[in-house]
Chain A
Amino acid sequence: NAGVTQTPKFQVLKTGQSMTLQCAQDMNHEYMSWYRQDPGMGLRLIHYSVGAGITDQGEVPNGYNVSRSTTEDFPLRLLSAAPSQTSVYFCASSYSSLGSGANVLTFGAGSRLTVL
């Protein structure tokens, strides 16, 4: 099993450019989510999905779009990149959308994005 796969691992953008961070999982997980990691602030939830066709906003959704057309994929789109979106992005998934004691998030390896 590959687990949670994120691409690309590194990306440099210019202000105003658009791009998509890809996230794919092969574990048949219902729940998928995107976090951003910034120094001193830990990880913050951007968007999440509890199943195909269902998405919702997290703590810091502005400037990002998501969609969930299949169970496996959950891409994160930046329509017009800004320097404030320079960060490390993590995709994470879990088996159940309901959450339980045995339900833990599996994280991807992260994508470092720099916006100039």
Chain B
Amino acid sequence: AQTVTQSQPEMSVQEAETVTLSCTYDTSENNYYLFWYKQPPSRQMILVIRQEAYKQQNATENRFSVNFQKAAKSFSLKISDSQLGDTAMYFCACRKAAGNKLTFGGGTRVLVKP
């Protein structure tokens, strides 16, 4: 079984600044994928970024980047140059490499202040 833990229920950040969201996970799989999803007030689940455990290089997508520490089972998300549209709930998730079942963390609510 996999578990995903997000220890920060809420975070706030000033517009244009940087915020880092924490995520730790536990899995017995050798290969797996990690994801960050964004859920704005519209409720839609939007994939932000993903990382394959076999790849050592940290994934980046524009202003979003991750710090993947495999030995520590840590997968943090950094949002740079925060924008008002980044205000949302963010979920960390994990799944086996061969499969579709996602295990989600409890979420972190991010508020970007003008």
Residues of A within 8 A of B (CB): 31, 33, 35, 40-45, 48, 58, 88, 90, 92, 94, 97-101, 103-105, 107, 109-110
A-B CB contacts (within 8 Å), total count: 59
Known: A43-B102, A43-B104, A110-B43. 9 other contacts (CB 8 A): A42-B4, A42-B6, A42-B93, A42-B105, A43-B93, A92-B45, A98-B98, A107-B45, A109-B44
With A97-B100, A109-B43, A109-B44 in contact, is A104–B50 under 8 Å at CB? yes
Decide if B19 is an interface residue (CB 8 Å cutoff). Answer: no
Interface flags, B38-77, vs A, CB<8A=1, else 0: 0000111101001010000000000000000000000000
Provide the bound-state CA to CA distance between A79 and B40, in Å.
31
Q: Nearest CB to that of B47 among chain A residues? A: A104
Mostly helix, strand, loop or mixed at chain B's interface? loop
Q: Give residues of chain B (1-55) contacting chain A, Cβ–Cβ below 8 Å.
A: 4, 6, 9, 33, 35, 42-45, 47, 50, 52
B interface residues (Cβ-Cβ under 8 A, vs A): 4, 6, 9, 33, 35, 42-45, 47, 50, 52, 91, 93, 95-102, 104-107
Cα distance A40–B5 in the bound complex, in angstroms: 10
Q: Please, how many angstroms separate the alpha-carbon atoms of A104 and B104 in the complex?
A: 14
Would you list the 9 A-B pairs with minimal beta carbon distance, nearest first?
A42-B104, A107-B45, A99-B99, A43-B104, A110-B43, A40-B106, A99-B100, A31-B100, A42-B106
CB distance from A115 to the nearest CB of B (A): 19
Among residues of B, the one whose C-beta sits closest to the C-beta of A9 is B43
Minimal beta-carbon separation of B101 from chain A (angstroms): 6
Distance (whole angstroms) from the CB of A55 to the closest CB of chain B: 13
B96 to chain A, nearest CB (A): 7
Residues of A within 8 A of B42 (CB): 109
Q: How far is the CB of B65 from chain A (nearest CB, A)?
A: 18
Contact B95 A99 (CB under 8 A): yes
**What chain A residues lie within 8 Å of B44 (beta carbons)?**
107, 109-110
Q: A40-B107, A110-B43 are in contact. Are A45 and B102 (CB under 8 A)?
A: yes
